[in-house]
Amino acid sequence: MTEEEKGAYSSTHYSQLTTDSKIYVAGHNGLVGSAIMRKLESEGFRNIVTRTFEELDLTNQKATREFFEKERPEYVFLAAAKVGGIQANSVYPADFIYINLMIECNVIKASHEFGVKKLLFLGSSCIYPKLAPQPIKEEYLLSGYLEETNEPYALAKISGMKMCQYFNKQYGTNFISVMPTNLYGPNDNFDLNTSHVLPALIRKFHEAKVNKAPYVEIWGTGTPRREFLFVDDLADACLFLMKNYSGNDFFNVGTGEDVTIRELAELIGEVVGCKGELKFDTSKPDGTPRKLLDVTRIHEAGWRHRIGLKKGLEKTYEWFSKTYL
């Protein structure tokens, strides 16, 4: 890390962030947004602005500008997005690129126009090339072809991150970005048609336990390796960077550890208490062979994850059991 980069962490420009600062959490009911809300509230922040989708459609530029003009938030966590797994991305590619681009364009532009002091944009590790060297460093961005199954979402997230950098360059804003690895936790999407692999497996194993099914069907071969971060750890990283970083870098946020899908399934079966056989449907796509983030940059900034995979799965299944059953 250069001296200039180190200086970004010691900037006092945003030391004015206090528990009274007016903060807008876009997407506060989602997986990431709700975790950010829990973190802010636990830290004593009490001037938080939120809107549901029914109250504010962020794909509507006029409505978004009117909201910013009226509320004048000082800080923005941009966690609103259309998200989903391989199947959802394959079925709704136009929706994934259009909705995410519109949200990013409208919120980032309005944040500049109405004087937001700092914005944090939530990206995704799917921005990186399908065959990027492992672990994936931030500088590997745009060095190769994207994974076809989530290309529309990835293109939108790349654009959002680049918008932040270009607004900083042209207008002197302080808009920063994080690229989290695969997330899970309370308020995740457990719909088998649109969810990511981990919550889908939790639901499949739970239903197999309840129905005393002899096996659990899993997409693909079980050999791809994935990294998983409990969403409350991500929220902790976001607040850490909002308080401590000012600059034009973006940050990978993850654990630096990965498991195979088979290993994940076995661990979920243990947590759920389901002893059914694993049956792999190899006619379904695996996606990227491996996706592990290099988290050196955020470690050097002073942040590390705290919640291990098994503990995170236990917390998530406890929430699922209380919410869905």
Active site residues: 153
CA distance 161 to 134: 21
Q: Is 299 annotated as a binding residue?
A: no
Residue 303 assigned ligand-binding role: no
Specify whether the CB–CB gap between 277 and 212 falls below 8 A.
no
Altogether, the residues listed in the chain come to a count of: 325
Single-letter code of the amino acid located at 170: Q
Residue 178 annotated as binding site: no
Element (H, E) at 179: strand 175-180
| 47 is known to lie in a ligand binding site | no
Tell the burial category of 165 from Cβ atoms under 10 Å away from its Cβ (0-12, 13-18, 19+): middle
Q: Is 226 annotated as a binding residue?
A: yes
DSSP secondary structure string for all residues of 193-252: TT--HHHHHHHHHHHHHHHT-SEEEEES-S--EE-EEEHHHHHHHHHHHHHH--SS-EEE
Helices within 81-223 (DSSP H only): 86-91, 93-113, 151-171, 197-211
Is 65 labelled as part of a ligand binding site?
no
Radius of gyration of the chain (CA): 20
> Is 130 annotated to bind ligand?
no
Q: Is 73 annotated as a binding residue?
A: no
246 is in an annotated binding site: no
- The Cα-based distances of 147 to 125, 126, 128, 306 in angstroms read 11, 8, 8, 29
Task: State yes or no: 183 annotated in a binding site.
Answer: yes
Question: Is 123 known as a binding-site position?
Answer: yes
284 is in an annotated binding site: no
- Is 319 annotated as belonging to a binding site? no
Q: Are the beta carbons of 131 and 144 closer than 8 angstroms?
A: yes
Residue positions in the annotated binding site for NADP(+)? 27-33, 122-125, 157, 180-183, 196
**Binding site members:** 27-33, 122-125, 157, 180-183, 196, 204, 219, 226, 286
Binding-site residues for substrate, in ranges, read 204, 219, 226, 286
